[in-house]
């Protein structure tokens, strides 16, 4: 419609801003809305659309951004008190790429503090609710980004995925969440949690939008030494509704005790549909899957303890005013600036890296990570893709698990392995629970083979209508208005 000039970017952005005004107070997805900046960008996009012979891919499209991705001149808090007043003087590479293609950044979305959590309940600014049921969580840590897309308060959004933080909230909110191969997308400007696991990716209403977003944000970046210098495929060409002859593996370790019966049934129904559409499906073993959660929480917390050492109240961010010497400044600032989950992970990571325990925990975890990566390499020699549930359960109630960290950590059990192995994965809607909550299907493949998961996801989407269903947020349970 934008390209055909049936609607202007200014009109589209205004409609999104009005939608945010109408519903955001119900689910609380945004931390910052940049209305003036968005309207200025929309006017530039309209000029781009009028003047350009070749129209940029995302010209005039309103996009929300997780608030741990730096946006020059716009507050970036990581949902933490310690960065509550931080305004970056520079732009993340993904944001620059979006702007180059004419996208309009409408605001910054809520997350678990420093992306540490599975429910967006650890945010310093309060929890984001699920647009399908306002008494339930939106998932985490990219809960605000997923909820904003589900609530039609953004056309699409960016999230970050360290152990499933794009895919799990996408599953809970009934939208599409894509974690690219590690190194496919620059992490420059992403506030680091666990640097060897973090990856930026899109959250969208459908697979086509995911392919477009991925095409724009991918590519080598000299500012990020972990970004890989490989050509970026035209991902939109992967959108072929035909999977005849493709081989799909079903890891048996993902269908065992702990998996909700309704989730299992919807995923098995989805697998049957893929078979009917021509895919060959066969069970496969991933023998080191059972060690993934323990391995992840040793490595991620170890890296977090190093990355978060920079927040000391000296250079930027929150500073505790009550101190008598430099050590007290550090201690009081970190005591008052970090939430309890962040402190817990810093302590776990510091312990794992400490003298006498490094070999027993950190080094052993790195060796197990190699074995998990080898599981994927072996499986991907035989199969084009693997299919699993995204989460063992649908969205749960707000406050239901927040006091039990172990239960919360186990929610990532099906998504963590992809981060440890560095492979791409996508979550797409595949049905609903008997209580009307969305359920996600996860599709994984080998390194830099995003085209395969996009093709399978697109084919499934073209033969179902789950992605077209949207919550009527004003009539959802939990709305007291």
Q: Which residues are catalytic?
A: 66, 141, 165
SS3 content of the chain, % helix, strand, coil (to 5): 40, 15, 45
Task: Give the residues across from 178 on adjacent strands.
Answer: 426
**DSSP 3-state of 250:** strand
**Residue 72: other Cβ atoms inside 10 A:** 15
| CA of residue 409 relative to chain centroid, distance | 16
Q: b vs e for 272-308, b when ≥16 Cβ sit within 10 Å of the residue's Cβ? A: ebbeebebebeebebebbebbbebbbbbbbbbbbebb
Burial class (CB in 10 A: 0-12, 13-18, 19+), 55: middle
- Return the structure tokens found at 356: 């006498």
Give CA–CA dist 130/310, Å, rounded. Answer: 33
- Return the structure tokens found at 182: 């590690």
HSE value, Cβ hemisphere, 13 Å, CA-based, for 17: 19
Q: Phi, psi at residue 53, to the nearest 5°?
A: -75, -45
Quick one: which of 66, 49, 64 has its CA closest to 10? Answer: 49
Give CA–CA dist 98/79, Å, rounded. Answer: 23
Report the alpha-carbon angle 221-90-101, nearest 5: 60
Q: Answer yes or no: are the C-beta atoms of 394 and 172 closer than 8 Å.
A: yes
Pair type for strands 62-66 and 104-109: parallel
HSE value, Cβ hemisphere, 13 Å, CA-based, for 481: 11
CA end-to-end distance (rounded Å), the chain: 34
Query: What single string gives the DSSP state of each residue in 421-468?
Result: HT--EEEEEEEE-TTS-EEEEEEE-STT-HHHHHHHHHHHHHT--GGG
- Return the structure tokens found at 302: 């170890």
Cis peptide bond prior to 259, omega within 30° of 0? no
């Amino acid at each position: 419609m934008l390209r055909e000039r049936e609607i202007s970017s200014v009109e589209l952005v205004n409609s999104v801003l009005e939608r945010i005004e109408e519903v955001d107070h119900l689910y609380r997805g945004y931390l910052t809305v940049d209305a003036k900046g968005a309207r200025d960008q929309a006017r530039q996009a309209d000029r781009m659309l009028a003047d350009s012979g070749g129209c940029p891919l995302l010209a005039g499209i309103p996009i929300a951004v997780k608030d741990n991705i730096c946006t020059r001149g716009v507050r970036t808090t990581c949902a933490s008190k310690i960065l509550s007043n931080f305004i970056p003087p520079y732009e993340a590479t993904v944001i620059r790429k979006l702007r180059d293609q004419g996208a309009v950044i409408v605001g910054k979305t809520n997350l678990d503090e420093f992306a540490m959590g599975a429910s967006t309940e650890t945010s310093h600014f309060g929890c984001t609710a699920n647009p399908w049921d306002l008494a339930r969580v939106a998932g985490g840590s990219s809960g605000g980004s997923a909820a904003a897309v589900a609530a039609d308060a953004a056309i699409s959004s960016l999230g970050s995925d360290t152990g499933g933080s794009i895919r799990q909230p996408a599953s809970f909110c009934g939208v599409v969440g894509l974690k690219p191969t590690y190194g496919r997308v620059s992490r420059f400007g992403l506030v680091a949690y666990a640097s060897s696991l973090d990856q930026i990716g899109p959250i969208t209403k459908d697979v086509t939008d995911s392919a477009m977003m991925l095409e724009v944000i991918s590519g080598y970046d000299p500012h990020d030494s972990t970004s890989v210098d490989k050509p970026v495929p035209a991902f939109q060409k992967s959108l072929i509704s035909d999977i005849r002859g493709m081989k799909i593996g079903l890891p048996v370790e993902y269908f065992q005790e702990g998996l909700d019966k309704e989730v299992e049934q919807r995923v098995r129904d989805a697998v049957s549909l893929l078979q009917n559409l021509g895919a060959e499906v066969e069970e496969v073993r991933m023998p080191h899957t059972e060690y993934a959660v323990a391995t992840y929480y040793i490595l991620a917390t170890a890296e977090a303890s190093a990355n978060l050492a920079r927040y000391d109240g000296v250079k930027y961010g929150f500073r505790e005013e009550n101190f008598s010497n430099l050590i007290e400044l550090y201690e009081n600032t970190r005591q008052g600036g970090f939430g309890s989950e962040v402190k817990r992970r810093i302590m776990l990571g510091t312990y794992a890296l400490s003298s006498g325990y490094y070999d027993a925990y950190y080094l052993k975890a790195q060796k197990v990570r190699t074995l998990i990566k080898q599981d994927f390499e072996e499986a991907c020699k035989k199969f084009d893709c693997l299919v699993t549930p995204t989460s063992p359960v649908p969205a749960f109630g707000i406050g239901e698990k927040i006091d039990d960290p172990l239960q919360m950590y186990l929610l990532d059990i099906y998504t963590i392995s992809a981060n440890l192995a560095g492979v791409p994965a996508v979550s797409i809607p595949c049905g609903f629970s008997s209580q009307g909550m969305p359920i996600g299907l996860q599709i994984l493949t080998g390194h830099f083979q995003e085209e395969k998961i996009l093709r399978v996801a697109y084919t499934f989407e073209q033969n179902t209508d789950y992605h077209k269903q949207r919550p009527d947020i004003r009539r959802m349970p939990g709305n007291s208005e």
